[in-house]
Chain A
């Protein structure tokens, strides 16, 4: 198994203020890592650091480029702009291929093929001419997932993908992501949802308000102190 992402003693923060520090974890090829933590614990700052959008305050983040593109397919949280954006599904998915274009102004055949394949994989081929804003929330997330697969086939970074979906669509999306993971796609997911994380993920990274509370496999997490406390609070609250 090759190492895909290695974080060593990383501190994160913005405007000179450190939000969280001593983050250490490794993601191997084929892993399914869930990043848990309360609001304001630095989850989204960690995502930005992993994507290279915002540098970490200190420490190392290594993204392994061997045996893959070295790129990360990103599924961001939806923005207000997208909700009423006139765009067909095909246009959105194709835009995932853009980074490979460089200065070439238009898409070539290989890129169009890749977009078609990604839509096929996620079962949205028949939607390809539909308008993005008229789809259901679950379908929209599939479209964005297909776009992420166009950008990077072997590693996905998902930022709270099920937010705003109804329970059925949430389950469908989790199953879909698990299916991709079984076929060898490395998945890193930021999540609020402890129960689903425990069910689908292979590893858990739990960030507290100041520092990393836990990193390891799911079964270790369930027996750890941080895990027990969090599962009781969060999991209990959701069962009500």
Chain B
């Protein structure tokens, strides 16, 4: 036991491990807050779809990087080279966010719009955008590889296994700011989010601007997904969104208690996942998801017992 604590102390003396813990817990908290709403609105798969869009956007960013890099070596005017260098710097400074965030935002708004009655139904639209973005992203990454280890790059983007441990201080700052915005907005609009999720037509009829709040939910969702890309990668984001909400809903019966429980479950699972991944050197993202899965099984069992004793 004391060995374990020593190992942990040793690891957390490195800033990158502390950064990973901070970022991991914040992302887990944000995604679980919104997860309840998304699951109840039947948008469980939006996380999946948007994360693939974010993956596609990320590969577009690295392709852009690739071309700009070539431009600086080409025989072109000094002005063009200066422009290319600026673009490269901008992409590197913001860790691809400058491309990924706006693209994901637009996709989120489009997807939540199609959730209402349009020609292509919600689930089909999500599947289409999700697979399309994944394909384009993978194709671009293969055509214009950014490093020598291409399949490793793809794998880490999809499963986020390494990138969490390569966070810079600026990444952590960005993450804290975005998490603060998400949590703040969620608390301020908590009652509105509840009303719009529970009954959209009633809210509209009594004069609440339901469309505006749906848009807000879309924007927050996109922000969380872009944030979570770093932690678990784009394939496992759905798990962070769905599992804590479903676990909490097995046991608790009011909206507020479900939200609080889901946040707690998510944070505890993320912490456990990160610690285990350090101790046993397992990939971070999938370890967190495995912890979430274990929590879900636990809560389901508890829920079944509670249900039986009440019935």
Contact = CB atoms under 8 A, between A and B. Distances in A.
- Whether A and B are associated in the same complex: the answer reads yes
Interface of A: 51-53, 71-74, 76, 79, 81-82, 85-88, 91-92, 94-96, 98-99, 101, 105-107, 129-131, 133-134, 144, 147-148, 151-152, 157
A147 B208 CA distance: 14
Nearest to A51: B205
A105 B253 contact: no
A95 B189 contact: no
A38 to B, nearest CB: 22
Given A96-B206, A99-B206, A91 B256 contact: yes
Contacts of A92: 198
A56 to B, nearest CB: 16
B268 to A, nearest CB: 20
A72 B205 contact: yes
A144 B203 CA distance: 12
10 contacts: A51-B205, A53-B204, A72-B205, A76-B202, A81-B40, A86-B249, A87-B254, A98-B192, A105-B190, A130-B253
Given A51-B205, A81-B40, A105 B198 contact: no
A71 B198 contact: no
A152 B258 CA distance: 29
B187 interface: yes
Contacts of A74: 201-202, 205-206
Interface in B253-308: 253-256, 258
Interface of B: 40-42, 187-192, 194-195, 197-199, 201-208, 249, 252-256, 258
A112 to B, nearest CB: 12
Tell me what chain A mostly uses at the interface: helix, strand, loop, or mixed. Answer: mixed
Contacts of A131: 253-254
A81 B42 contact: yes
B254 A91 contact: yes
B205 A95 contact: no
Contact of B191 (A81, A86, A88, A105): A105
A155 to B, nearest CB: 12
Tell me what chain B mostly uses at the interface: helix, strand, loop, or mixed. Answer: helix
B283 to A, nearest CB: 33
A98 B205 contact: no
Nearest to A107: B191
Given A87-B194, A98-B191, A98-B203, 13 more contacts: A51-B205, A53-B201, A53-B204, A74-B206, A81-B197, A81-B198, A86-B258, A87-B198, A91-B254, A92-B198, A95-B195, A98-B208, A129-B254
A72 to B, nearest CB: 7
Given A86-B249, A86-B252, A86-B254, A79 B199 contact: yes
A74 B197 CA distance: 16
A86 B260 CA distance: 13
A85 B198 contact: yes
Nearest to A88: B254
Contact of B207 (A82, A99, A134, A144): A99
Which 5 residue pairs of A and B lie closest in terms of their CB atoms, listed nearest first? A131-B253, A88-B254, A74-B205, A151-B206, A99-B206
**Which of the listed residues B188, B198, B252 has the most CB atoms from chain A within 10 Å of its own CB?**
B198
Contacts of B195: 95, 98
Nearest to A104: B191
A154 to B, nearest CB: 14
Nearest to B252: A86
A91 B195 CA distance: 9
Nearest to B194: A95
A96 B188 CA distance: 18
A76 B206 contact: no
Contact of A99 (B41, B42, B194, B208): B208
Contacts of A107: 191
Contacts of A76: 199, 201-202, 205
B86 to A, nearest CB: 40
